[in-house]
Amino acid sequence: MSSIEMAVRNARAIESLLEQRLGATGKGLHEKLNSVQGHLPADIVKTARWIATLRNSAVHQDAFEIERPEDFMNAASRVISFLEHLPAAAPGQRAPSARAPAEYSPFVAGLKLESVETDPRTVAPPPPVVPTRRPAVPPAQRPRRAPRRREGRGRAEGSGGLVGLVGALLLVLLAVLFATGHIHIGPQGLGFGVQ
């Protein structure tokens, strides 16, 4: 099966299930997800959006190939399996709450559905690791960090920065003053003025 065919078939199946089970509305899969995303777990929405994006890429880009078709098919199967376990919406209405009980969701705590484990279309790999956001900390409780020093600024090393330039100019000025005799070193130390 080609990438285009794989992407279009699975996206179309998800779209029709969203319409049947949740009364989703909109032109494409992204719009249908927008209309019902409050009734679905975040991981299902995220996976379905990924499928919609790949479907759009497959249709609109020349020579597009899904890099890991088996991962795509597993993800599509998980979303389709989840949506198939939802009760059908009344005609023309959305379901009051489309969140399935925990025993229906293959994503909850990494559990697989025992009744469909032998079906290769619906076996779910472990859920993807999703980075979590750190909890918000009030500004007064945040640890203070030392200010970052930018490279090359405020340092006399190398030729970088204003301090390095001023230092180089002072050295040139001193050399000129020594060469012209305006500054001299004698037995009594440093002297100023022409001798």
The C-alpha atoms of residue 77 and residue 107 are separated, in whole angstroms, by 12
Nearest Cα to 75, choosing from 45, 114, 99? 45
Q: Which regions of 109-187 does DSSP assign to beta strands (E)?
A: 183-186
Q: What is the token pair recorded at 111?
A: 């559990």
Examine the fold and report which residue of 82, 116, 150 is the final residue of a domain before the chain moves on: 116
* β-sheet bridge partners, residue 184: 191
Does residue 38 belong to any structural domain of this protein? Answer: yes
Does residue 151 belong to any structural domain of this protein? Answer: no
DSSP-based three-state secondary structure for 7: helix
The C-alpha atoms of residue 76 and residue 73 are separated, in whole angstroms, by 5
Examine the fold and report which residue of 116, 132, 147 is the final residue of a domain before the chain moves on: 116
Number of domains the chain is built from:
2
Same domain, 111 and 170: no
The C-alpha atoms of residue 191 and residue 193 are separated, in whole angstroms, by 7
Domain that holds residue 96: 3-116
pTM for the predicted model, two decimal places: 0.48
Does residue 82 belong to any structural domain of this protein? Answer: yes
Q: What is the pLDDT along the chain (195 residues), one digit of tens a residue?
A: 788 899 899 999 999 999 999 999 999 999 999 999 899 999 999 999 999 998 988 888 888 888 888 999 999 999 999 999 988 876 655 544 444 444 444 444 443 434 434 444 444 555 555 555 555 666 666 667 777 666 655 554 544 578 888 888 988 988 888 788 887 777 777 777 765
Does residue 131 belong to any structural domain of this protein? Answer: no
Does residue 88 belong to any structural domain of this protein? Answer: yes
Counted residue by residue, the chain has a size of 195
